[in-house]
Amino acid sequence: MKRRTSSGTIAAIILTVIFGAALLLSIASGAIVYRHVAERVETSSRQRVGLSYITAKVHAADVRESVAIGQFGGQNAVFLTVVEGDEVYEDVIYVYNRKLMELYCEDLLEFTPDDGEIICDAFALDAEVPTPGLLRLTFTDESGHVETADIYLRSGEEYG
């Protein structure tokens, strides 16, 4: 008959505890890494959503005489003319009260910047035409991160 020694049992318990502790530490460190990666992805997404939204809307409205820049309620704005059947609508994108806003309406004179729908948090939107047919949008998000996009209309029309 073999006798079990207490030192063998203690060694097995110590190894099990060490393995468990290593496993818990690796899970905890993985959770920390995951949290940091998720925060970076969220920040990156927030920084890009505003400008991506505007450029997608401009590309969708890329027909003759449909894109213009100007002022709406004292704010820089991008004006998109949308024709649906026999109706003509204005789609105005602007920053107001630190929010990127969009107003889709038939008669723009009846509305104020407060009437738009909130797209995302923002600080500023600047639009310019550095050369004919090229629209340069500069979007500043709520954290002060600035992104610029140059959009050339496929329809070849100049911006007004």
Residue 119: pLDDT over 60: yes
Contacts of 75 (CB under 8 A, 6+ apart): 94, 95, 96, 113, 125
Average pLDDT, the chain: 86
Measured distance CA(2)–CA(20) in Å, rounded:
29
Q: Among positive and negative, which fits the CA dihedral 18, 20, 22, 24?
A: negative
pLDDT at 152: 87
Q: How far apart are CA 14 and CA 131, in angstroms?
A: 74
pLDDT above 80: residue 160: no
For residues 135 and 108, which has the higher predicted lDDT (pLDDT)? 135
Q: What is the pLDDT of residue 7?
A: 81
Percent of the chain residues past pLDDT 70, beyond the cut = 92
Residue range 99-128: mean pLDDT, rounded: 90
Q: Model confidence over 27-54: pLDDT tens digits?
A: 999 999 999 898 888 877 776 788 899 9
The yes-or-no verdict on residue 17 having pLDDT over 90 is yes
Count of domains observed in the chain:
1
As beta bridge partners, residue 149 has 137
C-alpha distances in Å from residue 37, one per residue of 26, 28, 30, 42, 43: 16, 14, 11, 9, 10
Query: Which of 128, 79, 130 has its CA nearest to residue 138?
Result: 128
Query: In this predicted structure, what is the pLDDT of residue 110?
Result: 83
Band of residue 159 on the pLDDT scale cut at 50, 70, 90: very low
Q: Which pLDDT tens digit goes with each residue over 97-108? A: 999 999 998 887
Q: Could you tell me the residue range of the domain that residue 61 belongs to? A: 1-160
Q: Is the pLDDT of residue 83 over 90?
A: no
Share of the chain above pLDDT 90, in %: 44
Q: Is the pLDDT of residue 4 over 70?
A: no
